[in-house]
Structure formats: C-alpha cells, structure tokens
Amino acid sequence: MIMKSKFSLVIVVVLVVVMPPPMAKAVTPSECKEERRQLVNECRPMIFGENPSSDCCECLRVVHVECVCPNLTPKIAILINVQRTAKQIRSCGRNYPHNLKCGTGKK
C-alpha cells in the first residue's frame, strides 16, 4: 500500500513538472479598462510625438491587444502617426504581427 502511494505521488510530481502551464485566463472587462487607463496615462506624451517613457514602455509590454484594438478606430488611427507609433512600440520591446489590423476597423 505504501509503495502504491509513493508511486502515485511520483506520477503527480512528474505530471506537474512535465505538463505545459495552463493557458492564460481571459482578461476581464474591468482588467481591460484598467489596462487602457494606465496606457493612456503613461503614454499620452508619446501620442503627441515624444519618445515613450520607461513607464510607458512597461505598459506597452504588458497590455493585452484585445483590450486596446477594439477601441482604436480608424478615426483615432488617423490622428496619430501610425508608422512612428508602431516603431516606438517596437523600441519598447513589444513585438506584434505585421498583419495586425488594429485601428483599421477590421478584425
């Protein structure tokens, strides 16, 4: 009986170590709202042409795309220099797919 318990314990430990971590949980609407608020507060100067601050870069690295893209409409995208902003986002260490349609009104 003790051998069976030890064997079961070993199996559980192996599964925990070998199995990939679970998928990240979905972001709640309130978490998205908070992410957008922080992003706007920290990165507002960047929108107006300044280089991103370290706090802005930190926000850019952790923000969920699904929290920002639905709010970035074509009308808003016209107001900013999209190419410059994309370059600044990449300079903060945030990579994103080149085919991302955020700000185009398309999914």
What pLDDT tens digit does each residue of the chain (107 aa) get?
544 433 333 333 322 333 333 345 789 999 999 999 999 999 999 877 889 999 999 999 999 988 988 888 888 778 777 788 888 889 999 887 777 777 666 55
- pLDDT at position 15: 28
- pLDDT at position 20: 35
- pLDDT at position 104: 66
C-alpha distance across the termini of the chain, in Å:
57
Domain residue extents for the chain:
26-107
The span from the CA of 96 to the CA of 75, in Å, is: 21
- pLDDT at position 46: 85
- pLDDT at position 75: 84
- pLDDT at position 24: 57
- pLDDT at position 11: 31
Instruction: Collect all residues with Cβ–Cβ distance below 8 Å to 32 and sequence separation of at least 6.
Output: 64, 66, 67
Q: For domain 26-107, give the CATH number.
A: 1.10.110
DSSP of 21-79, one letter per residue? Answer: PPPPPPPPHHHHHHHHHHHHHHHHHHHTTPPPPHHHHHHHHH--HHHHGGG--HHHHHH
The span from the CA of 69 to the CA of 60, in Å, is: 13
The span from the CA of 5 to the CA of 37, in Å, is: 51
